[in-house]
Chains A and B, each alone.
Chain A
Amino acid sequence: MIIGAPAHDPFERDRGGPATPLLTVKGLLKHFPIRGGALGRVQAHVRAVDGVDFEVMKGETLGVVGESGCGKSTTARLLLSLIDPTAGEVFFDGMKVGSPELSLKEFRRQTQMVFQDSYSSLNPRLTIEASIAFAPQVHGVPKREAVARARDLLARVGLDPVRFAGRYPHELSGGQRQRVNIARALALQPRLVLLDEAVSALDKSVEAQVLNLLMDLKDEFGLTYLFISHDLNVVRFISDRVMVMYLGQVAEIGPSDVVFDRACHPYTTALLSSMPSIDPDHRTMEAPLAGDPPNPINPPSGCRFHTRCSFVEQVCSSVQPRLTEAGPQHEAACLMVVPGSGHSKAPVGTGVAA
Chain B
Amino acid sequence: MAALAQHTLAAPAPAEKADGYWIGVWRRLRRDPVAMVALAVIVALILMAILAPYLAPADPLRGQSLRRLRPIGTAGFPLGTDELGRDMLSRLIWGARLSLFMGITPVILAFFVGSAIGITAGYAGGRVGTVIMRTIDVFYAFPSVLLAVALSGALGSGTGNALVSLTVVFVPQIARVAEAVTTQVRQRDYVEAARASGAGPVTIVRVHVLGNVLGPIFVYATSLISVSMILASGLSFLGLGVQPPNPEWGLMLNTLRTAIYVQPWLAALPGVMIFFTSIAFNLLADGLRNAMDVKQ
18 cross-chain CB contacts under 8 A: A77-B192, A104-B198, A108-B197, A109-B197, A120-B188, A120-B189, A120-B190, A121-B188, A121-B190, A123-B207, A123-B212, A124-B212, A131-B190, A134-B199, A135-B194, A139-B197, A139-B198, A216-B7
Interface stretch among B15-23, B35-43, B77-85, B170-178?
B15-23
Interface mask (A80-108 → B, CB under 8 Å = 1, otherwise 0): 10100000000000000000000011101
**Residue A162, interface by CB 8 Å:** yes
Interface size on B, residues (CB 8 A): 32
A217 to B189, CA, bound (A): 22
**Residue B211, interface by CB 8 Å:** yes
Partner of A115, one of B193, B207, B212: B193
On whether the beta carbons of A158 and B9 are closer than 8 Å, the reply is: yes
A74 to B68, CA, bound (A): 77
**Residue A230, interface by CB 8 Å:** no
**Residue B195, interface by CB 8 Å:** yes
- The 6 lowest CB-CB distance pairs between A and B, nearest first, are A158-B7, A121-B189, A135-B197, A125-B211, A115-B189, A105-B198
**Residue B203, interface by CB 8 Å:** yes
Looking across the interface, which residue of chain B has its beta carbon closest to that of A118? B189
Contact flag A188-B192 (CB < 8 Å), given A127-B18, A168-B21, A213-B7: no
On whether the beta carbons of A122 and B190 are closer than 8 Å, the reply is: yes
**Residue B3, interface by CB 8 Å:** yes
Partner of A168, one of B18, B196, B212: B18
What is the minimal beta-carbon distance from B234 to any residue of chain A, in angstroms? 38
On whether the beta carbons of B192 and A138 are closer than 8 Å, the reply is: no
On whether the beta carbons of B199 and A82 are closer than 8 Å, the reply is: no
On whether the beta carbons of A112 and B9 are closer than 8 Å, the reply is: no
What is the minimal beta-carbon distance from A105 to any residue of chain B, in angstroms? 4
On whether the beta carbons of B212 and A82 are closer than 8 Å, the reply is: no
Partner of B203, one of A109, A138, A159: A138
Contact flag A167-B18 (CB < 8 Å), given A108-B196, A158-B4, A216-B3: yes
Residues of A within 8 A of B212 (CB): 123-125
Max chain A C-beta neighbours (<10 A), residue from B190, B195, B197: B197
**Residue B134, interface by CB 8 Å:** no
**Residue A126, interface by CB 8 Å:** yes
**Residue A155, interface by CB 8 Å:** yes
Residues of A within 8 A of B208 (CB): 123, 126
**Residue B294, interface by CB 8 Å:** yes
Looking across the interface, which residue of chain A has its beta carbon closest to that of B22? A125
**Residue A345, interface by CB 8 Å:** no
On whether the beta carbons of B4 and A155 are closer than 8 Å, the reply is: yes
**Residue B6, interface by CB 8 Å:** yes
A155 to B17, CA, bound (A): 17
On whether the beta carbons of A170 and B294 are closer than 8 Å, the reply is: yes
**Residue A156, interface by CB 8 Å:** yes
**Residue B74, interface by CB 8 Å:** no
Looking across the interface, which residue of chain A has its beta carbon closest to that of B195? A82
Contact flag A119-B198 (CB < 8 Å), given A157-B7, A158-B8: no
On whether the beta carbons of A113 and B21 are closer than 8 Å, the reply is: no
**Residue A75, interface by CB 8 Å:** no
Residues of B within 8 A of A105 (CB): 198
What is the minimal beta-carbon distance from A149 to any residue of chain B, in angstroms? 13
- In the complex, besides A119-B296, A158-B9, A162-B15, 14 extra interface pairs with C-beta distance below 8 angstroms are A108-B198, A109-B198, A111-B196, A112-B196, A115-B193, A121-B193, A126-B211, A135-B197, A135-B198, A160-B8, A163-B15, A168-B21, A170-B294, A173-B11
Residues of A within 8 A of B197 (CB): 108-109, 112, 134-135, 138-139, 187-188
Contact flag A134-B194 (CB < 8 Å), given A120-B189, A167-B18, A168-B21: yes
Residues of B within 8 A of A170 (CB): 294-296
**Residue A209, interface by CB 8 Å:** yes
Looking across the interface, which residue of chain B has its beta carbon closest to that of A188? B197
Looking across the interface, which residue of chain A has its beta carbon closest to that of B209? A123
Residues of A within 8 A of B196 (CB): 80, 82, 108, 111-113
